Chain A
Amino acid sequence: MPEQLVFAMEVILNGLMAGVLYALVALGFVLIYKASGIFNYAQGVMALFAAMTLVGIMNGQVPFAHLINATFGTHIHYFGWNVPALFAIILTMGVMVLLAWCVQRFVMRHLVGQEPIILFMATIGLAYFLEGVADLMWGSEIKKLDVGLPQGINLWLDETTFNIFDYGFFIDNLDIVATIIAALLVAALVAFSQYTKQGRAMRAVADDHQAALSVGISLNFIWVMVWSVAGFVALVAGIMWGTKSGVQFSLSLIALKALPVLMLGGFTSIPGAIVGGLIIGVGEKLFEFAIGPLVGGATENWFAYVLALIFLVFRPQGLFGEKIIERV
């Protein structure tokens, strides 16, 4: 088999894995948009906030230590204990539920019935507020995140492909884990929305707020639930990306990777987020591999958007989005 074809196969595999990581971020956007019609600009910052909270809890860090020390003249930074990863994840999820309740109680509840652009702008404010709170709460330094996920080359795949192609493929173990978790997450989300009472209520709210209210569904409860689930997805994305690069403020920028995925997959489809992520991941990696060297490289960021734009021209609602027909 030609060497370039073998390399291209490795690139495609890695593109699929990268796409899954993009999709993890996009899923959070989809959940909130699907249930409330809000494009949540703060989704990337929620991933950052969740990851910082997780590391802070694991390391026994005192939240708002800098503020406390500056106010009371104390010198406390750590409680002096470490929390096991699983327990810390559960506690962090609790914090994300609390955050969801606060967002609903103090922001969204006051904006019911407002134009989508107003709600979008509220989430921009929320993003900056949350970034500042995360900074104040846990500090700006880069933190190592280790919840026990494997990292590094998958030796089995390396050896197997070497025996077949005389060239061992590189796949990061962390990417394989991310793929499994993403698959489980999507299955759980689909099962939740299809087969549970709350899931059906969520879909009802998404279809028609007024009708849902008229049959006794609590809009407030559903929105807190949706923001909590989005917070959970953000936590998963934060763990995956934070394990790769350490937990730091640039984590919030992973949202930029989710936008073309949403444009391509549609804002209302969970499978769309996954398929969109895979197409973007493979597309950008293959383009960088084949065309990148001819144009000086660094094509991935812009090519993802070009690819999404091409899809948008022919299918504005995205691959799996709902076609909106408005009669006048």
Chain B
Amino acid sequence: MNKKLVTLALSALMASGPALADLVIPDLSYRTGPYAAGGIPFSDGYNDYFTLLNERDGGIGGVPVRVVECETGYNTEKGVECYESTKGEGALVYQPLSTGITYQLIPKVTADGIPLHTMGYGRTSAANGKVFSNVFNYPANYWNGASGAINYLLDENGGDLSGKKIALVYHNSAYGKEPIRTLEMLAEKHGYELTLLPVDHPGQEQKSQWLQIRREKPDYVVMWGWGVMNQVAVQEAANIRFPMENFIGVWWSGAEFDVEPAGDKATGYKALTFTGLGDDYPVYDDLKKYVADAGKSAGAGDQMGAVQYNRGLYAAMLASEAIKTAQEMHSVADITPAMMRDGMEALEMTNAKMEGLGMSGFGPEFSVSCENHGGPGLVGVVQWDASTGTWNQIQEFKATDAEVIGQLIAEDSAAYAAENNISPRCE
């Protein structure tokens, strides 16, 4: 009887357990709801890159990649449910594209030993690998973004922002509030006056904020928006005739769909970036051949080269390069989440490597270490031209204020370590 029970239990376990020889990558996507416009292209890019690797190379290191998509609707509770329902499949890395979900997953992934990659979002101080063992936010984080925007304005003003007025229009959420401390510290350092203008979810109505901007006449407006907030802000800025060239959004406020509803008036609007623009990269030839033309696109196949598609593509490329690194480190093709974490911590992205992938210049060169999970934090600036319907890079990837950001990361991560009884590692 006991033998029968054991056999039954083992059979059940094998039937319900993860499929062997698969590299499982969950995709916590949001293809529905108010933030779907940003979630769809990112997820398409993320999926399509792994499809390309499967179709062209037979996977990574000979092991096929299996992307497990789970719809979160940009809802934190659903995001956590997706994590819980997919982690048992042997998930190698999570990329939730939501700061809210990220905050909930940080303790969970740490306990479960699964790495979390929050590329350009999430908890900024997770860049400190000494405290956040399983969280990575390379190649840039929000504080790099805030500093990148200020550095760009410094360049525009001959290195002097004293007496200038800068308004931050931000999504009134954990995401939108991330840059505030950095901008406040940089205000002390550079002498500009900072005005904070929160916009409640979803951001459909912003009349009060833009009337205030019209009254107070700031020299520059920096925006930390997502979803409909971006389109309304660009439209309102155009309505009050705020000079678009003095309006800069973070990278999540710089997609085509953020500016297109405002038409020609959006010309001149700027945004930060840490990824390449358009589809003029050799990798796109392969994507068209092996994915789009083969009818294997994740979505409608109409997003290729779009800003958020490129971000998803880039995130997938970084994940696949970390898998390769892990495979080499451990001499195993079918890696575990713990090995993946090691691979991410030893990841090195060089120009030569990106050129070999057909993505030369698509992102900055950087390397990850035990101490630094955030990369170099290089930030570029792009500008919208409505007449051609394109973004043009007007500043290459440049360094941000490591002194200020380093201090903030140390303070915030130390507080987190104290709250959670975490002993610093890497020593």
Contacts and interface: CB of A to CB of B under 8 A. Distances in A.
A249 B33 contact: yes
Contact of B197 (A14, A153, A297): A297
Contact of B214 (A73, A152, A170, A296): A170
B198 A297 contact: yes
Contacts of A145: 261
Given A66-B300, A152-B239, A142 B204 contact: no
B227 A257 contact: no
B238 A152 contact: yes
Nearest to A4: B215
A300 B231 contact: no
B300 A292 contact: no
B263 A248 contact: no
A245 B228 contact: yes
Contact of B208 (A139, A251, A288): A288
A318 interface: no
A253 interface: yes
Contacts of B235: 151, 244-245
A152 B235 CA distance: 9
A244 B200 contact: no
Contacts of A135: 32, 36
Interface string B10-41: 00000000000000000000011111110010
Contacts of A73: 295
Nearest to B31: A140
A62 B114 CA distance: 43
A201 to B, nearest CB: 36
Interface in A122-180: 131-132, 135, 139-142, 144-146, 151-153, 170, 172
Given A73-B295, A141-B257, A246-B261, A300 B211 contact: no
Contacts of A146: 263
B302 to A, nearest CB: 8
B202 interface: yes
A142 B261 contact: yes
Q: Chain B: interface residue count, which band?
A: 35 or more
Nearest to B306: A141
A170 B40 contact: no
A241 interface: yes
B204 A14 contact: no
A11 B211 contact: yes
B189 interface: no
Interface in A307-324: none
B205 A151 contact: no
A196 interface: no
Nearest to A296: B198
A258 B340 CA distance: 49
A120 interface: no
Contacts of A144: 260-261, 263
Nearest to A3: B215
Contacts of A5: none
Contact of A253 (B31, B34, B211, B265): B34
Contact of A14 (B31, B33, B37, B211): B211
A250 B227 contact: yes
B199 to A, nearest CB: 7
A135 B201 CA distance: 21
Interface in A235-261: 241, 244-246, 248-254, 257
B232 interface: yes
B418 interface: no
A211 to B, nearest CB: 42
A18 interface: yes
A285 B207 CA distance: 8
Contacts of A253: 34, 202, 204
B4 interface: no
Contacts of B257: 141-142, 246
Contacts of B31: 140
B36 A249 contact: yes
Contact of B37 (A18, A140, A300): A140
Interface string A206-249: 00000000000000000000000000000000000100111011
A78 B207 CA distance: 36
Interface string B333-357: 0000000000000000000000000
Q: Kindly name the residue among A7, A131, A244 whose own CB sees the greatest number of chain B CB atoms within 10 A.
A: A244
B200 A250 contact: no
Contacts of B198: 296-298
B248 to A, nearest CB: 20
Interface of B: 31-37, 40, 172, 196-205, 207-209, 211-212, 214-215, 227-228, 231-232, 235, 238-241, 257, 260-261, 263, 265, 295, 300, 302
23 contacts: A11-B208, A11-B211, A14-B211, A66-B300, A77-B300, A141-B37, A142-B261, A153-B239, A170-B211, A172-B239, A245-B228, A245-B235, A246-B228, A249-B34, A250-B202, A251-B204, A253-B202, A257-B205, A289-B212, A296-B196, A297-B198, A298-B198, A298-B199
Given A140-B37, A142-B261, A245-B228, 19 more contacts: A10-B211, A14-B207, A18-B207, A66-B300, A132-B32, A140-B32, A144-B261, A153-B239, A153-B240, A170-B239, A241-B204, A244-B235, A246-B260, A248-B228, A248-B231, A289-B208, A292-B208, A297-B198, A300-B208
